[in-house]
Structure 1
Amino acid sequence: MNLKQLMIFKQFVEDQNVNIVANKLNITQPTVTFHLKNLSETHNVPLYHKKGKHITLTKAGQILYQNSTKILTLIEETEAIMNDYTIFKRGSLRIGASHAPIYGMLPHAMREFMEVYPEIEISLEVDTAPRTVEKVKNREVEIGVISENGIRDKEVEVKRLFNDPLVVAMDKRHPLADKETITIKDIQSYPLITHSSGSTKDSIDEWQHKNLIEIEPIMQSNSMSSLIETIRNSQFLSLLSSSAVNHPDIIAKPLPHAPSERHISIVYKSDRVIHPIMQDFISTIYRLY
């Protein structure tokens, strides 16, 4: 088994067509067929079953495909790191982010970084915190910046930046805006809109369970901007991450009997080599926050 065979097998599983694989890898169709056959015969185990134009992987084939993907991704990642050392201050960085830092601190950090390193190409993917962590683990992004209240996963390193408590957000002209202390009864007295997924939703659920209450939101959304715009000029309330409340018309009040602490954190895969571009981005965030 060699890298060429792994590359051919991975491409074949994804395209399910020998001719397409040959064209993509710039080799002949008989070469593709030979290596696929050789992989099965060398280990004396079938890797897939073919029915018409489609293939179905055996258990052995699934393992080979998964490990081939990991090996080839690690090789690609290592080559990129070596390239970064060779031509430092050029290259790319793939960042994943959950919604709270996107509406809070991350744009400022990215702007500062790009001004210093204009030759570095930034790719940003915004998703929920749990999905961003999965992208980090699957090496789809190199760094995640998320709101979290505890990650117990040995595959991920977590570097906490600052506390990011859940707060009661409202328009600055809301009837509760001048009240120094907000109670649970106050929250129950006004219509509530909430985030529909991710770590914020988990914290809201934890808060309700902890306080033995159940408040049915009249609206849920996975868009932080839609929540902010909806509570503007209204009597609606929302429960948001403190870092996401940065609109001049919106104020935040401490949430009574708040759930466990939340944080804005940097996450990356434990076995990932921190190459110079990653290190400079992390240093930029630490310098600002």
Structure 2
Amino acid sequence: MNINLLKFQIVELVDKHRRITAVADLLGLKQPTVTYHMKTLEQELGVKLFEPRMDKIILTEAGKALLHYASKINALAAEAERVVGEFGALARGTLRIGASYVPATYMLPRALSRFAAHFPGVTVQVAVKPSPIIQQMLMQHEIDLGVISTEPLQLPPLALRTICEDKLVLICAPGHPLEAYPMLTPALISTANLILHGKDSSTRQMTDRWLAMWGIKPQSHLELDSLEAIKQAVMQGGHASFISKVAVQSEVERGLLVAKEIPEFQYSRSICCAYNRDRHASDLLHHFIGYLTPAMTESPAAPVKEVLERI
């Protein structure tokens, strides 16, 4: 048995208006078409649903029993149509984002705030993980968008757009021995007690390559996964650390930390937004990318088509 939605609508309208002419007008159908659907519905269910009485049509007891479900089905169908329509209008939906630590902590909050102000019905879920893990999540279609700090990479399914440079610097506290040197050397850095990032982070991977290039094996070091924990530990005065310049900009400006150029550092890294080309890119995804782009910051409502064409 296959009862289409039109027949459920007819049941509900017959109960309300009790005239076939009124039902036909409301549905934009001819009277014989409505009558046909009424008869075929009775045949499909094997029971009489409609009963002529004087110049009206009323529901039988079986028809009233069906009306209970027809009303619910019609309401659900209307709700489904409304919700789907709102997706198209960017009024509702869910966007799943994966972000590495630097953009998640220092960039996403402002973008999320502005996005939410314009699309309050949209749910945004953010997973904060190291960049390599975010890349895998994108490859496995577990998230819609990645916002990551990464070196140049070639992963054919992934489309990337650079948002800004994410340079590494060496930080220490004011008064630390390294502060006195206008320019650091690998030999000087080798004397410092270092705080290293967790092994899964892109910062740690770049740091390890630089240390290996100069044959530096830290004699004493701490290992922390949290950017904020690293900054707080360095502020105590006994350690130095390789860290994103974006992550320490505020502390450097306030004189809480000192940032030094890393000598002979040949690795470049950028904060990028990335998505999987094999995955359907929704309008929500397209618009959120616009909020991550510096050119869109001052005018969030600006079109994002040009941004997407450059990805």
Greater Cα radius of gyration, structure 1 or 2: 2
| Structure 1 gap segments, 5+ residues each | 1-80
Counterpart amino acid of 1:237? A
CA offset at residue 254 of structure 1? 1.3
CA distance in 1, matches of 2:203, 2:173: 20
Q: Which residue of 1 aligns with 2:192?
A: 190
Q: TM-score, normalised by structure 2?
A: 0.62
CA offset at residue 234 of structure 1? 1.3
CA offset at residue 223 of structure 1? 1.5
Q: Secondary structure at the match of 1:176?
A: helix
Q: Which residue of 1 aligns with 2:228?
A: 225
1:261 paired with 2:268, answer yes
CA distance in 2, matches of 1:173, 1:119: 50
Contact residue 175 and residue 235 of structure 1 kept, 8 A: no
1:283 paired with 2:290, answer yes
1:115 paired with 2:124, answer no
1:273 paired with 2:283, answer no
Judged with a 3 Å threshold, the aligned counterparts in structure 2 of structure 1 residues 168 and 247 are, in CA distance, closer, same or farther, namely same
Judged with a 3 Å threshold, the aligned counterparts in structure 2 of structure 1 residues 83 and 242 are, in CA distance, closer, same or farther, namely farther
Q: TM-score, normalised by structure 1?
A: 0.66
- Higher relative contact order structure (alpha carbons within 8 Å, sequence separation ≥ 6): 1
CA distance in 1, matches of 2:198, 2:267: 19
Which digits, 9 at most, give the CA deviation of each residue in 1:39-65, with x for residues without a partner?
xxxxxxxxxxxxxxxxxxxxxxxxxxx
Judged with a 3 Å threshold, the aligned counterparts in structure 2 of structure 1 residues 216 and 163 are, in CA distance, closer, same or farther, namely farther
Contact residue 145 and residue 264 of structure 1 kept, 8 A: yes
Which digits, 9 at most, give the CA deviation of each residue in 1:59-118, with x for residues without a partner?
xxxxxxxxxxxxxxxxxxxxxx96664342321111101112123222222222222222
Contact residue 92 and residue 122 of structure 1 kept, 8 A: yes
Contact residue 98 and residue 126 of structure 1 kept, 8 A: yes
Judged with a 3 Å threshold, the aligned counterparts in structure 2 of structure 1 residues 184 and 84 are, in CA distance, closer, same or farther, namely farther
Q: Secondary structure at the match of 2:211?
A: helix
Contact residue 191 and residue 217 of structure 1 kept, 8 A: yes
- Percent same amino acid at aligned positions? 25
Contact residue 211 and residue 257 of structure 1 kept, 8 A: no
1:242 paired with 2:245, answer yes
Equivalences for residues 1-289 of structure 1 within 5 A: 85-177=87-179, 179-197=181-199, 198-248=201-251, 249-286=256-293, 287-288=296-297
Contact residue 105 and residue 243 of structure 1 kept, 8 A: no
CA distance in 1, matches of 2:202, 2:129: 11
CA distance in 1, matches of 2:160, 2:288: 15
Which digits, 9 at most, give the CA deviation of each residue in 1:9-41, with x for residues without a partner?
xxxxxxxxxxxxxxxxxxxxxxxxxxxxxxxxx
Contact residue 89 and residue 277 of structure 1 kept, 8 A: no
CA distance in 2, matches of 1:83, 1:210: 57
Contact residue 169 and residue 250 of structure 1 kept, 8 A: yes
CA offset at residue 247 of structure 1? 4.3
CA distance in 2, matches of 1:100, 1:139: 22
CA distance in 1, matches of 2:211, 2:86: 48
| Structure 2 gap segments, 5+ residues each | 1-82, 299-311
Which digits, 9 at most, give the CA deviation of each residue in 1:204-259, with x for residues without a partner?
11212333333345111122121111111313100012222244222322111113
Contact residue 145 and residue 273 of structure 2 kept, 8 A: yes
CA distance in 2, matches of 1:256, 1:200: 16
